[in-house]
Structure 1
Amino acid sequence: MPSDTDHRTAASARVAALTGPGGPFELADDDVLGTRLPVFRHRQRALHEVLHASVAHADRDYVVTADRRITFADHAAQVSSLARVLRERYGVAEGDRVAIAAANSPEWIQTFWATVSIGAVAVGFNAWWSAREMAHGLGNAEPALVVADARQSAKLTDCTVPVLSVEDDVRRFLTEHPDAPLPSADVAEDDPAVILYTSGTSGRPKGAVHTHRNLLAVVEYHRLNDALLREFGDPLAPEDRVHLLTLPLFHIASLHNLAVPRLATGSRIALHQGAFDVDAVLGMVERERVTNWGAVPTMAHRLLEHGRADQYDTSSLTAFALASAPSSTEFKERLRRELPFAKDSLVDSYGLTESCTAVAAANPQELAVAPGTLGRPVTGVRLEIRGPAGEVVGEGEEGEVWVRSMYNMLGYWRDPEATENTIGTDRWLRTGDLGYLREGRLFLVSRRSDLIIRGGENVYPAEIETVLAEHPDVAECLVLGVPHPDLGQEVAAVVVLGPGATVTEEALREYAANELAYFKVPGRWRLTTDGLPRNATGKVIRHSVRV
């Protein structure tokens, strides 16, 4: 039986052949924003090129839902029609922002492609944002146009720009100009293409700006992975794979690493809509013969609790990945024992919104040899562990994870201070996560300081604390994450009440729900009149606080 070393040696040789001189995915150093970085030599330069090339897949299905099937040809024609409306009727120009505030749907994907193909910037708003958070997004992005579903439209009471409804306007515009030419734009590789918001470490979400170069590099990364599968004897051609999309499109997992590259490879997307439902999802796996699925641990946990996965034919599912949130070695072992499709296919990875795609990835062989690892840096990524002064530390020593690649974001939209604090000299990205390297493999010690990951959604305590502190009965507060059997973590709040305060837990919960997306509202509360513990400098000692 081949050893892990044998497998890695063989994989390295194949990667070298594919990415070396003359290879189809040849890497070569090039100037990127004043820094020399390895880039794919045979890359596309603008996202509209992906749309144009996709018509070659013609009558193959691009997106299927429970009740719709959209071919590549139909998709291209509909995007072209919508792009013409955006340009001619609404005056959307290159560099303008188009905000998308909606739950997952084919129209979300089509609005994205119409926007980026005319050189505008697609801005993904979190579909669970409150009216307050929507207002912040509007003020920060200053879009020329908003596309929203009925739920989010109701929260746009103070919006001063046109709002198109997903259900009526967009669906009508997709077929209004059936003979419209494919859209294109004169954009540079490092021009912004997408803004996705991250939870704010300082109280407000920040817009991570991704360029045409970033997304097209991710496309080539996925094409390379598909080529490697063929090199190792996978009988399925990339275009015959079916990718299940269950995570929100305003996340890089679904947009950058699924919807975008699959238009390039001719693969089918099986799009689940609505709340996560085990039977509906497994029914789609069976019906569409899904081959690839990236899920958050909460979804995987619900599959285990469902207990009836064996009632569905999941034999087509040969690639099952955990994403967006950490999971324990014990949990992975349980998945392999109880879910037939996870036994030989489970993989794990590490990435963040700012990195656009995976920073490191661990295949089944890596996980078997080094339980707990998140794998080795992916092609094109340089990863270092650094100490407090920015110095590279030795093997096995803990420090902050720094990464550098063609995939890394441009910066934070209209936030030069946050950008400077995150992206340093030579485009090194400080992740804020702590980890160490052992034999080239990454192990994480903790995610960003104080970060709560609830069901795959990142929640920063500062954002919630800012809202709670505005309540007149709150003297001070602290928000932290506590373990939860299904969600991984849930949000908890310790609230110190001011003199004479009469507010109740229920009232504070309602107050928070009016200001924050539902997943940020604390599920556990402790109201007290005792002040928070502080050190000699007045800083709250977070680890001493208990709910």
Structure 2
Amino acid sequence: MTTGQTTTSTDPRAMARAVVADLTGPGGPFELAADDVLGTQLPVFTHRRRALHELLAESLVHGDHDYIVTATSRLTFREHAAQVASLARALREDFGVRPGDRVAIAAANSPEWIVTFWATVSIGAVCVGYNAWWSKRELAYGVSHATPALVVADAKRALLLEDCGVPVLSIETDVPRLCALHPDSPLPTCDVAEDDPAIILYTSGTSGRPKGATHTHRNVLSVVEYHRMNDALAAAFGDPVDPRDRAHLLVMPLFHIASLHNLAVPRLANGSKVALHTGAFDIDRVLTLIQDEKVTNWGAVPTMANRLLEYGDLSAYDLSSLTSFSLASAPSSPAFQKRLREGLPFAANALVDSYGLTESCTAVSVATTPDLAEDPGTLGYPIVGVQLEIRDTLGNPVPDGVEGEICVRSAYTMLGYWNDPSATADAIDGDRWLRTGDIGELRNGRVRLSSRRSDLIIRGGENVYPAEVEGVLLEHPSIRECIVLGVPHDDLGQEVAAVIVSSSPLEVEELCAFAGERLGHFKVPTQWRFTDSPLPRNATGKVIRRDVAV
């Protein structure tokens, strides 16, 4: 195998390290070199692009290849670029959007979502992805927090935004009209700095309100180079498939980094097809899309994988094209992974797991199929360009095998939390180390996760922070105390449970309606326990969560 030098090792991991060293070493196509990033020396890709609009211009080389396909529509790279150019001109000329302005999207997945994203970032504006499951109150908070110049919304979300005080464009009618309004517009460009904000995605707040993780052009373009390097690594190991001949299934919401930063954006860069599933997760429609579009790569949350197992016989569908199947967004156990390998033919020799968070912009670590076979439960090695330490409560690094907080830094790491310097300072120190709040350890260089952000509940791949739900429930006049916990669920992984200390009898239906008016449906507790006994507390007055029974 030759990529600039020859390696004769028969150890696949040693071979991979040698190839990566060639690709990222001095003079390599994905050379990494230390450079200043916001006052800290970090490894950066030397040959990276500097602004997202550069990717749009380069995408024309893929011409009439499909970029986005759904069960009912197709959009080539050339058509996509023309639509983006027209919409970008309309945003500038008709709506006065300027560099640094926010354009928010509140909508379910659609090709128009992606086109709106590219039009926004290509003129130097900041794309804000609102959670499409948010309630009216949560959307109102998002508008007041990000102060967008306008919001692009589908019909369902537009009803919740009627009184938001900001212009709302329809994703079903306005966006298609504006995409065709200026058919001969040149591709948009803008003068932005690498560390200018490009994207804001919201992560549920550990202490209440959602926080806007802000990602820069540098962050996202670093992710693109990481994916390009993976393509080159696969080719060096003899993968004969050109990236332009791959098709990536997009099922998870576009307001997550898994779908936007790590799928839709890199595919524009390397010419791959995005097979976009629209609407609720439906196994027949998803498998039919895989079959019809010859999907090769699928990243799924464990809940989706579990539903495939429960579906039973998949032989009615031709899934032979599927050669890469990865898990993301929520933890999965070795026992569950074993069930996947035994029950899903495409997972037997292709299952990959990873660990990441919204703030990290892409995976922090990836466990390959051999990693999972050799070390069940591992989340693999830190990816290229990521520096990772496990630290004790005093902030000191600990050795292999010792638990502590996972801390990372890289050119991928977010700029900070939008309009929240205090939360940013709590999360990122002066040397750009991100304190994840997750507890884990390193074993022979591989990451293992013990617990995620202390009390975090992950329901079907969506993060739910108990403090946010508790804050809403305590607004109810009859609730004296409450605590929200995650409990196991066979399909969703976890579901939300609440223990209520009340001054008077309460009905579950009333509380569900009360919470549902204020929270996204996935945050509303589905299990309730009522008591008149005070919750157990420690000497500082904090509830001892482990002593609370649901």
Scaled by the length of structure 1, the TM-score of the pair is 0.98
- The alignment yields a C-alpha RMSD, in angstroms, of 1.0
Whether 2:259 is the aligned partner of 1:254: answer yes
* Runs of 5+ consecutive residues of structure 2 not aligned to the other structure: 1-8
Aligned-partner Cα distance in 1 for 2:313–2:523: 31
Whether 2:529 is the aligned partner of 1:526: answer yes
Superposed CA offset, 1:291-334 (max 9, x none): 00000000000000000222211111010000000000000001
The equivalences for 1:51-130 within 5 A come to 51-130=56-135
- Aligned-residue offset at 1:530: 1.4
The equivalences for 1:392-471 within 5 A come to 392-471=397-476
Determine if contact 1:360/1:377 at 8 Å carries over to the other structure. Answer: yes
Whether 2:39 is the aligned partner of 1:34: answer yes
Whether 2:396 is the aligned partner of 1:391: answer yes
Aligned-partner Cα distance in 1 for 2:409–2:353: 20
Aligned-partner Cα distance in 2 for 1:509–1:5: 59
- Aligned-residue offset at 1:195: 0.2
Aligned-partner Cα distance in 1 for 2:299–2:10: 27
Q: From 466, 474, 478, give the equivalent of 2:479.
A: 474
- In the alignment, what sits opposite 1:223? 228
- Kindly provide the amino acid, as one letter, of the partner of residue 540 in structure 1: V
- Kindly provide the amino acid, as one letter, of the partner of residue 93 in structure 2: E
- Aligned-residue offset at 1:451: 0.1
Q: From 508, 511, 520, give the equivalent of 1:508.
A: 511
- In the alignment, what sits opposite 1:196? 201
- Kindly provide the amino acid, as one letter, of the partner of residue 474 in structure 1: I
Task: Give the % identical residues.
Answer: 68
- In the alignment, what sits opposite 2:18? 13
- Aligned-residue offset at 1:151: 0.7
Whether 2:182 is the aligned partner of 1:177: answer yes
The equivalences for 1:342-421 within 5 A come to 342-421=347-426
Aligned-partner Cα distance in 2 for 1:506–1:546: 21
User: 1:146 is paired with a residue of what secondary structure?
Assistant: strand
Superposed CA offset, 1:507-533 (max 9, x none): 001111111001000010112211111
- Aligned-residue offset at 1:426: 1.2
Superposed CA offset, 1:83-139 (max 9, x none): 000000000000000000000000000000000000000000000000010011011
Determine if contact 1:505/1:527 at 8 Å carries over to the other structure. Answer: no
User: 2:517 is paired with a residue of what secondary structure?
Assistant: helix
Count of residue pairs the alignment pairs up: 543
Aligned-partner Cα distance in 2 for 1:369–1:5: 17
User: 1:260 is paired with a residue of what secondary structure?
Assistant: helix
Aligned-partner Cα distance in 1 for 2:430–2:334: 36
Aligned-partner Cα distance in 1 for 2:432–2:244: 34
- In the alignment, what sits opposite 1:275? 280
- In the alignment, what sits opposite 1:312? 317
Determine if contact 1:211/1:409 at 8 Å carries over to the other structure. Answer: yes
Q: After the TM superposition, which segments of 4 or more aligned residues of structure 1 sit over 4 Å from their partners?
A: none
User: 1:174 is paired with a residue of what secondary structure?
Assistant: helix
Aligned-partner Cα distance in 2 for 1:465–1:432: 20
Determine if contact 1:302/1:486 at 8 Å carries over to the other structure. Answer: yes
User: 2:128 is paired with a residue of what secondary structure?
Assistant: strand
- Aligned-residue offset at 1:442: 0.5
Aligned-partner Cα distance in 2 for 1:31–1:135: 38
Superposed CA offset, 1:217-259 (max 9, x none): 0000000001101011111011111000000000000000000
Whether 2:172 is the aligned partner of 1:167: answer yes
- Aligned-residue offset at 1:5: 8.3
User: 1:311 is paired with a residue of what secondary structure?
Assistant: coil
Aligned-partner Cα distance in 2 for 1:520–1:21: 49
- Aligned-residue offset at 1:192: 0.1
Q: 1:296 to 1:110 in 2, by over 3 A?
A: same
